[in-house]
Amino acid sequence: MGNDRKGQPTIYDVAEKAGVSITTVSRFLNNSSNISAKTGQRIAHAIEVLDYVPHGNTGTRTNRTVGRVGVLTPFFPAPSFIERLEGMTPVFKEHNYEMVIYTIEGPEQLNEYLTSVPFTKRIDGLILMSVKLSPEQHRTLKSSGLQVVLVESDDDNYSRVLADDYRGGELAARCFLEKDYFPCAYIGDKPIPYPYNLHPSELRLSGFRDCLESNGRTIQKEMLIQAYTTVEDSRLVLGEFLDRGNRPRAVFAMSDIHAIGLIKAARERGIRIPQDMAVLGFDDIEGASWMELSTISQHLNDSGRIAAELLVSQIRSNNKAIQKVKLQVELIERSTT
């Protein structure tokens, strides 16, 4: 079967150009994992060359809407990401947008999303959470015509919502200085070697260290430790750290997830919190309140809400103006400091 080749290209044209069946193209459009990478590349190329728009998405980018927005995020379902999503949900619901979550498990998957014409044709706008774009990925997104808002990534090419990580580190240091919590330790995230990863841990440590040094205090090299962002890995890492004879008076953790792991490790060794060792986290996830954890709040729900509002505004007005929103952080003291 075929078509009369008039008007918009059809799925038949794509199948013919790619040298595959219509069924294979259909499976590709539905993100079937059964399509080989080589076949998928041929289909994607045919779609791009023909400027094929899947059924229901006809029209130009400026006058076409599908009532759907995408949220691209790694490490799902980290609690901090979930709370941002909770902030986005009512905004998109109010404006009748369906929110579709796309999770990234590696660099290849990120590239596959960003270079897939069907992906960009299915959504009116995109929020990227904690994703750093390469120059090539930036060019791809720009050429798609999508409205894009970033969360956490400070990229001048896009509207973005940021927390002041450096200031958060300073607040943690001031807390320890006021309470004379020394010697102190810092636990950061163990880096995952993906090019799109952000490293807020480094900014938080910089603010913490700089504030200490400006007040005549230092954090010793042996008091800097790293763990993956899970409760269990943080528990194991701090346990080994303590078992080597290290006894910090307080620990600043780059996330509440790390901090909860620290508390578990301390309790397993009979270390009282905060009498023997104080613990301060970062994020203020819902679990921090349950744990009575002192933390640096970066207003996660607000950051999600504001990002969603920015995206809706850009879609509705087709406005390319770039806005940068930097949220203030604050110290929330509970029972662990």
Q: Do 288 and 170 fall into the same domain?
A: yes
Q: Is 124 part of any domain? A: yes
Identify residue 38 by its one-letter amino acid code. Answer: K
Q: What is the reported pLDDT for 236?
A: 98
> Is the same domain home to 224 and 169?
yes
For tokens 């059924």, the residue is 55
Residue entry with tokens 């950051």: 303
Which phi-psi region, left, alpha or beta, contains residue 128 (left: φ > 0; alpha: ψ -120 to 50)?
Answer: beta
Task: Give the C-alpha separation, 196 to 129, whole Å.
Answer: 11
Whole-number pLDDT of residue 63: 46
β-sheet bridge partners, residue 296: 282, 331
Q: What pLDDT is attached to residue 58?
A: 42
Does any domain span residue 185?
yes
In this structure, are residues 301 and 84 in contact, taking their beta carbons and an 8 Å threshold?
Answer: yes
The predicted structure's pLDDT at residue 60: 43
Domain that holds residue 36: 1-52
The pLDDT, as a whole number, for residue 59 is 42
Task: Centre a 10 Å sphere on the Cβ of residue 110 and count the other Cβ atoms it contains.
Answer: 22
pLDDT at 125: 93
pLDDT average per 10 residues of sequence, the chain (337 residues): 54 87 77 68 80 54 71 80 94 93 84 76 90 87 89 92 96 98 96 68 96 97 95 97 97 97 97 98 95 96 96 87 93 98
Q: Are residues 254 and 309 in the same domain?
A: no
Q: Of 52, 72, 88, which residue is a domain's last?
A: 52
Cα separation of 83 and 129, whole Å?
A: 12
Is residue 334 in a domain? no
* 180 and 273 inside one domain: yes
Q: Answer yes or no: is 57 within a domain.
A: no
Strands 68-74 and 125-129: parallel
Residue pair 323/155 in contact (Cβ under 8 Å)? The answer is: no
Count structural domains, the chain. Answer: 3
Q: In this structure, is residue 184 part of a structural domain?
A: yes
CATH of the domain at 230: 3.40.50.2300
Element (H, E) at 288: helix 286-290
The whole-angstrom separation of Cα 38 and Cα 194 is: 23
Give the Cβ contact number of residue 172 at 10 Å: 32
Query: DSSP strand E in the chain: where?
Result: 68-74, 98-104, 125-129, 147-151, 159-163, 184-189, 224-227, 250-253, 278-283, 294-297, 324-327, 330-332
Note whether residue 181 is domain-resident. yes
Please report the pLDDT score of residue 5 as a whole number: 43
Are 53 and 121 in contact by the 8 Å Cβ rule? The answer is yes
How many residues does this entry show for the chain? Answer: 337
Are 177 and 246 within one domain? yes
Q: Are residues 140 and 223 in the same domain?
A: no
Evaluate whether residue 209 is within a structural domain: yes
Strand order in the sheet with 330-332: 224-227, 184-189, 250-253, 278-283, 294-297, 330-332
The two three-digit tokens of residue 213, written as one number: 């040094």
**202 vs 5: CA distance, rounded Å:** 56
CATH number for position 4: 1.10.260.40
Residue 264: predicted pLDDT: 97
Give the residue among 279, 286, 298, 295 at the shortest CA–CA distance from 331: 295
